[in-house]
Chains A and B, each alone.
Chain A
Amino acid sequence: MNRTSSRILMLASAIALGVAIAPRHASACGDEFVPAIDHRVLGVARAEKAMQEGKYQAAAGMVVRMFPEIGRMTANGVAAKDPLVGRAMRTLALATVRTEGALNIDSEIPREARGTWSGKSSEDRQANLTWAVSAMRRVNDVRKDDPAVQSDLGEALAKLDDQKGQAKKVLEDLAAKDLLASPEGYAALARLQAEAGNTGARDAAAKRCEAMAKNPAVCRVGAGGQG
């Protein structure tokens, strides 16, 4: 059973107990109480699978269609405490980071939800990346001590010039304990090491990335640290 099917099964199990994952609505069908099914659970699982397959735009489009307000959800961090919203936020943030803030999903989402997601201008791309970092911070606040989330946060921080120092520390600390959870995280670390002139550390991080990555292209690190 693939991972999406297994997550569908979890949902079916919840339904068997009469427990909705996000019980906001229900209906009575004759004498039977029918809890509403939140289809976004399946949608978020599919978006995560798309991310794992490198389909960043598709993943982002799914999330924004399900949560059109998501761009405005990071202000106080409350939304990230909802596990479903937190996962959606993290998926969209990561997709934004890995497309350099230019998601190019206008054709896939309602007009009113488009905002700056497509990153047509450098200001829009910067705004998107700033949002992604903010979202990842919120998720990290909720899922404390999760190296997988910390890895994604480090990768996001590395995209903002004024956050690179923190990015390097986060990623270095994880790598030192062999807890850096993604090849993209290692690639980000390799670029930061290159920018700092640490060629040995750059090569070590790049090597880890290449060992892990399904797509070696994610590991490209220029001499000056460019991806």
Chain B
Amino acid sequence: MASASFADEAGDAKRGKELVGKYQCNRCHDGTGVESGVKPLEHCVHCHQDILAGKFRAPPDKLETWTKNLATLREVPSLSAAGKRFRRGWIATFLREPHDLRPRLLGSMPRFAISADDARDIAAYLVPNDPEPELAMSGADAVKGRALVEANGCGTCHVMTGAPPLPDAPTPLGPKDFETRPAVALAPDLRFARDRWRAAELVKWLREPRAVKADALMPQVPLTPEQARDIAAYLLTTPLAPAPPRAVPARLPVLERRVTWDEVYDRVFRKTCRHCHAEPDYALGDGGPGNTGGFGFAPRKLNLADYAGAQAGALDSSGQRKSVFAPLADGTPWLVASLLARQAEEAGKPNPEVRGMPLGLPSVAPEDIQLVETWVAQGRPQ
């Protein structure tokens, strides 16, 4: 049974645990086994969940506004029992080359500055044990597996790009068997199952997800061992058409009308950027990962919460202050290039020179990038 080849290298699990703290994986993910390094208000997902649950202490009118606008970081996969599920080599590769794994989830794994050694060691921490012997899959029937996938309504939550579409059939389960919204949001594209799973772990998971991972959202569907093997055979071996290419949106021309800071701030920086590029004096000393540091990034000192802060630039990779409006080789201002780079990342074409912004979140709309680019071209009017 062929699976995609990701070398399962041995690594330093102890160092990997420290790196989970350094990169603040636990700022979004639960189940890392690492509690330190992230203060309560730093946990992105908990904060958003508290807002949605009405538990965040803020004026009611603010809560109401935020609740209406809050679309991202509502749920993020838990990493608990990663070692009982995923291939170590896949984790190490994914950390360095994240891609959109969950098409129904806004946002994706951010692209951090993780070295190959760090990725290997984090993977070793998350998957500490060498795998059990691979399951013998002779006799497993992928055709029957497809029929079972359809009959059990797997398409209710999952897509499988490159395979014939999975029907969105009602599942044989009742509505209380699983929480639909987060399950749908977090259901990965089954196209990647052959990268992430070995047959042995996948069959166990299909039969009893919560025996593998206590907080699994995957419902338990009654399957015999043979049925689970048939489904695994389908997921791991069915031929897949190439994933349809995602187009990078066209870059819009600079506007003719005057664009001021107030408009750019209200439409772009306040909504998204300010969370990571804040003014530390008004955020208990924490200017966010993009200012005072976090997610393994050294402080970049970029404050997008006020006009003067934006003009004051950021520290580049050599620690020198540089204007965020400085043109790159093609003349595009660095700030604009970052926004465009995120669009490219979403299309599967990461720019090795420029990290896409916002980190891991949906790209800024083309019309809003146009606004920022116009503002910069006009000399950044207040």
Contacts and interface: CB of A to CB of B under 8 A. Distances in A.
Nearest to B266: A2
Given A179-B313, A211-B379, A212-B379, A7 B59 contact: no
What is the interface residue range for chain B against chain A?
A: 35 or more
B322 interface: yes
Contacts of A183: 382
Interface string A1-14: 10101110110111
Contact of A148 (B270, B283, B311, B379): B311
A169 B285 CA distance: 31
Interface string B272-315: 00100000111111000000000000000101011111011100
B325 interface: yes
B234 to A, nearest CB: 48
Given A9-B62, A147-B312, A177 B282 contact: no
A207 to B, nearest CB: 8
Contact of A16 (B56, B321, B381): B56
B382 A13 contact: no
Contacts of B65: 1
A145 B282 contact: no
A199 B330 CA distance: 31
Interface string B312-344: 110000000111011000000000000000000
Contacts of B59: 12
What is the interface residue range for chain A against chain B?
A: 35 or more
A13 B50 CA distance: 12
Contacts, number: 95
B161 interface: no
Interface in A120-157: 145-148, 151
Contacts of B57: 12-13, 15-16
Contact of A147 (B40, B58, B305, B313): B313
B177 to A, nearest CB: 35
Q: Is the interface of B mostly helix, strand, loop or mixed?
A: loop
B78 interface: no
Contacts of B285: 83
A214 B260 CA distance: 9
Interface string A47-91: 000001000000000000000000000000000000110110000
B144 interface: no
Contacts of B381: 211-214
A17 interface: yes
A17 B308 contact: no
Given A1-B65, A17-B40, A181 B311 contact: yes
B378 A211 contact: yes
B281 A83 contact: yes
Contacts of B326: 178
B378 to A, nearest CB: 7
B281 A84 contact: yes
A211 B41 contact: no
A40 interface: no
B99 interface: no
Contact of A179 (B41, B312, B380, B382): B312
Given A9-B62, A146-B312, A148-B312, 18 more contacts: A9-B58, A10-B284, A13-B58, A15-B57, A16-B58, A19-B284, A83-B281, A148-B303, A179-B312, A179-B313, A180-B311, A181-B312, A182-B311, A208-B379, A211-B379, A211-B380, A212-B379, A213-B382
30 contacts: A3-B306, A5-B62, A6-B282, A7-B282, A10-B284, A13-B41, A13-B58, A13-B284, A16-B56, A16-B58, A21-B284, A52-B306, A86-B281, A87-B281, A145-B301, A147-B311, A147-B321, A148-B312, A151-B308, A179-B312, A179-B321, A179-B323, A180-B311, A181-B311, A181-B312, A182-B311, A211-B378, A211-B380, A213-B381, A214-B381
Interface of A: 1, 3, 5-7, 9-10, 12-17, 19, 21, 41, 45, 52, 83-84, 86-87, 145-148, 151, 177-183, 208, 211-214
Q: Which 10 A-B pairs have the closest CB atoms?
A: A211-B379, A16-B57, A181-B311, A148-B308, A178-B323, A147-B312, A214-B382, A83-B281, A148-B312, A181-B308
